[in-house]
Structure 1
């Protein structure tokens, strides 16, 4: 968003003041007209940094634009180094809590593991204790960790999670799907005694408390004891339980003794808002998770740095290792600040490969889930847009995506379809269909040129609300040839929107994104790949469905022109008026005569032809 003098009449004064500003490092303090501090920032070069806010024609992200629009004046403090500026910035932010800085609130509650008091107890995750006879384990500070641990234990030990009541419902109904896919032991079948079931629950609780290694040791000893006592059926069940624990340990990230004490941080952004997730490992297990809504989005590296500084400003200690999903603005200086603050070694890393990347992915997925609730989208939709923006080098995820496809049968019935995706979902009310008017022979490039010219011609006219929204991204069903053909068209029309093509393989499946002089592979960006595949499939469906419908109408029109006195124009009038063949068959001779403007005898002959059509 561009800042102008109309947005803030104080900009000329601020520009003049900034022109005399020192080039030394320091901290700048923005204030509104009431004198209240609204933003505090640090700079390696005060003159260059502050100038960037007030420069004429400067394009800002929405959050920065709002802040600059409200700046009445600013103060600054010069420091000897950028690091000193960072330390001072953190101290002043904590003191003044400015509106446009990232501010976090730690408002966590407590969670418990509940073991119900009944013949066949259930293990549940709950947010508070109830005044009942159930056993409660906790409190824990993280509802996320409790929920994950309970789900894992129920899955590994195949404990029932259905609503059936035991022993009342034993053998009353058929086992549910969980039993058949080996996610439940099947208490309802009557093959498990109360004593054996309670032993499994006890083992599950020990698994939650102590982890997989100790559980495997205890269960192995019990299995060997059962085998010695010739209780082979029990030994087999224990063997299967051990195998389930070992298999779960290979993939689960809740309990892992190889993971050092660390915090894992990821930030997710969707269109104009952002959030962060912090996952904490202590003693080889996931102990906590925290989500923070950050408000308006910002540049990723800057946002990561600001969040890390704000987050640890309210913490009395930090682990030795901090893993980030996004590289901050200055990782070395950030690391130095944390080491001096906590007086012990702190290593800030951005993993690129190995099992630690799985941890940053876990944090990223949680951030996506958190933001998806805010914007009313699924985690996959949020991740798809974010991954696509990153792959294409866009500053922010595109809100509106338009995609175009040409469909024809040789040089007849040439049409195009335009689909619109809003925040990762089809927006069918904005779909458009085009009949090609100026191209007489099959030429996809010429057809696409006509469609783009007509679409943006309607945008500039401003008469059709369906064309009023300018897209954030344009995709063409085609390769580099399509992109290189349409780029000059957009430049001529003065439409500044990113343009790419969608390339298919020999099996007509999405393969890559065409840039005009190369391709971008999305094989490592699964969510983005799924999104563009969905878009490409949808635009192909719309275009080919329209082309088939038009071909049917053409064939129908040709049948009507067999009647003397009924030409193409009159045939089209009839098709337009009655829409379908069924409606046309129901029409009376008088209705046909009135619509087509023909004589009664011609209308009767026409009626006979229509009635004979299959």
Structure 2
């Protein structure tokens, strides 16, 4: 796709180009800001026919690298590079560093994840019991008594002067090997050293090695950063929140996690396609670091094509698999949690809110995560105080600027279904008439009611040629939300705590809003009826006073002159109204 100057602004591929291209020019209101901007700038487009899907994928990658189109996703990770620092001194220290500028130190890295580097440093210092104080050795030998860490076996006690330099440096080498090659290789090497020490009758040394092996095994059992799998693999998971998505990549090498990266990308198309596009761009730039196994969190249509493409890039067979159970699934869930956490920081939403919207879309089979949710409730007290309330949730939170109130005008008698039909018909008609205060249409409508309400309102949507997912919120006998109602069934939500909380909050809020409006309306009707008791004051003048002053207190505080002006009565009548209000209100 090209702009007016002929510059390429987007590159894409599809089995059927016609279907893919037409989606950009249909239902523009459903696109996010980025896609609408792309469509506005498209002036011309060209195409290339390829013999296979793999060839299309290779060509797409090549063109994106060549032209760097403005509207293709650009991957930006969460932070800069991080290092593990090993000082060059008689008794070296291992620490975390943000740069590698110290000439008197060696470095492992770079790591794109500070989490990974800090975690590795903490673990290796704990396992090998390296000192964490600021003393300089051998200068500070035996100058002070050992600290608490020595007594609780968190430090080997270098300050006592009993640890020889060659012995300490041997431990440093073992620690570096542990960080580079993982726990399995380290345990094997330490086990060999333990047996060798035992054979040489160095039982104290063997006992220390035994304790170190136990520490590594204990750390392995208690941490999610280790894996029983000794081969190299990556885990990729995606989290979404309407207009933005976060993808986490966790890299396992030699049985332990060596790096973690997060990327934010625009969520303007199918999640499966987004995963595919991400994997292509990510691994195309890292051909020397593509592992044999890539675990993903959801199925993708072109997994086989990606496997073939990645295998050709790196020269060895690559498998792309959806983790379904066991350790693979636990690794995917960990990556998913990381993606959700970074997304929540980016969009100012909690992880629970992000996951609840994602779960809602999945449960109801919605085409996308609902950005805008509208909920409706009818509240009535007799014939004269029947109202409807409409609330709006945007990105999982109340959007009070979008709340609307409806007074029932056309329904006679107590008929909740007809009242709900009237409210929805009027709301949609206002949008169709171009009223911007009622734009856009929601991605999802939730009614405070069951299958009967859903069926009644669906007739309105069908008659107005409007397609919006429509469901009801069903309460139990204690007025607590228990299920989501469709036209033919009820969907239980009690098992999903995050989703249950979201639905309960929405139902409670729409009930509160509509009930509050009904009570206000009833009070106004009461005041209006009271005012008509004054001779010469009919419904029109009473209603004018109520609408102008709005509250009971404002009406009581009004002067005779103000009453005369609003009700359009003479001074004497205004004084009579004033006295009546003071006495009766």
Q: Do they superpose with TM above 0.5?
A: yes
CA drift of 1:304 comes to 1.5
Matched residue, 1:280:
251
Matched residue, 2:298:
326
**Is contact 1:565–1:598 with CA below 8 Å preserved after alignment?**
no
Matched residue, 2:283:
312
Q: In 2, distance between residues paired with 1:500 and 1:100? A: 35
Q: In 2, distance between residues paired with 1:608 and 1:154? A: 84
Compared CA separation, residues 105 and 248, structure 1 to 2 (3 A): closer
Deviates more, 1:264-273 or 1:473-482: 264-273
CA drift of 1:612 comes to 5.2
Q: 1:421 aligns with which of 372, 393, 399?
A: 393
Compared CA separation, residues 396 and 151, structure 1 to 2 (3 A): farther
Matched residue, 2:265:
294
Matched residue, 1:17:
none
Q: In 2, distance between residues paired with 1:437 and 1:54? A: 42
CA drift of 1:589 comes to 4.9
Compared CA separation, residues 202 and 542, structure 1 to 2 (3 A): farther
Compared CA separation, residues 364 and 442, structure 1 to 2 (3 A): same
Alignment of 1:53 with 2:21, yes or no, is: yes
Compared CA separation, residues 270 and 405, structure 1 to 2 (3 A): same
Partner of 1:76: helix, strand, or coil?
A: coil
Q: 1:196 aligns with which of 134, 148, 152?
A: 148
Q: In 2, distance between residues paired with 1:534 and 1:392? A: 18
Matched residue, 2:233:
262
* 1:447-526 matched pairs, under 5 angstroms: 447-462=419-434, 465-523=436-494, 526=497
Q: Deviations over 1:284-304 (max 9, x none)?
A: 333211122333522222221
Deviates more, 1:340-349 or 1:70-79: 70-79
CA drift of 1:554 comes to 3.3
Q: 1:391 aligns with which of 354, 360, 363?
A: 363
Q: 1:553 aligns with which of 524, 545, 552?
A: 524
**Is contact 1:263–1:278 with CA below 8 Å preserved after alignment?**
yes
Deviates more, 1:395-404 or 1:562-571: 562-571
Compared CA separation, residues 266 and 107, structure 1 to 2 (3 A): closer
Compared CA separation, residues 330 and 51, structure 1 to 2 (3 A): closer
Partner of 1:74: helix, strand, or coil?
A: coil
Alignment of 1:337 with 2:309, yes or no, is: yes
TM-score normalised over the length of structure 2: 0.72
Gaps of 5+ in 2: 87-93, 128-144, 157-171, 191-213
**Is contact 2:76–2:264 with CA below 8 Å preserved after alignment?**
no
**Is contact 2:561–2:574 with CA below 8 Å preserved after alignment?**
no
Q: In 1, distance between residues paired with 2:106 and 2:11? A: 50
Matched residue, 1:358:
330
**Is contact 1:473–1:497 with CA below 8 Å preserved after alignment?**
yes
Alignment of 1:409 with 2:381, yes or no, is: yes
Compared CA separation, residues 153 and 551, structure 1 to 2 (3 A): farther
Compared CA separation, residues 261 and 527, structure 1 to 2 (3 A): farther
RMSD of equivalent CA atoms: 4.6
Matched residue, 1:109:
80
Q: Deviations over 1:212-269 (max 9, x none)?
A: 999xx9xxxxxxxxxxxxxxxxxxxxxxxx99x979956x523454686421112334
Q: 1:367 aligns with which of 318, 331, 339?
A: 339
Compared CA separation, residues 415 and 126, structure 1 to 2 (3 A): farther
Compared CA separation, residues 557 and 248, structure 1 to 2 (3 A): farther
CA drift of 1:413 comes to 1.4
The count of aligned residue pairs is 508
Matched residue, 2:168:
none
Partner of 1:319: helix, strand, or coil?
A: coil
Compared CA separation, residues 319 and 604, structure 1 to 2 (3 A): same
Compared CA separation, residues 202 and 319, structure 1 to 2 (3 A): farther
Matched residue, 1:577:
548
Partner of 1:607: helix, strand, or coil?
A: helix
* 1:141-290 matched pairs, under 5 angstroms: 141-146=112-117, 195-197=147-149, 199=152, 202=155, 252-257=223-228, 261-290=232-261
Matched residue, 2:583:
611
Compared CA separation, residues 450 and 54, structure 1 to 2 (3 A): closer
**Is contact 1:480–1:501 with CA below 8 Å preserved after alignment?**
yes
Q: In 2, distance between residues paired with 1:572 and 1:407? A: 21
Compared CA separation, residues 261 and 525, structure 1 to 2 (3 A): farther
Q: In 1, distance between residues paired with 2:427 and 2:456? A: 16
CA drift of 1:446 comes to 0.9
**Is contact 1:563–1:602 with CA below 8 Å preserved after alignment?**
no
CA drift of 1:491 comes to 2.4
Matched residue, 1:18:
none
Q: In 2, distance between residues paired with 1:537 and 1:152? A: 47
Q: In 2, distance between residues paired with 1:357 and 1:373? A: 25
Gaps of 5+ in 1: 1-29, 116-122, 157-192, 218-241
Q: In 1, distance between residues paired with 2:544 and 2:45? A: 68
Compared CA separation, residues 140 and 333, structure 1 to 2 (3 A): closer
Q: In 1, distance between residues paired with 2:146 and 2:100? A: 26
Q: In 1, distance between residues paired with 2:564 and 2:124? A: 77
* 1:87-98 matched pairs, under 5 angstroms: 87-91=58-62, 93-98=64-69
Matched residue, 2:169:
none
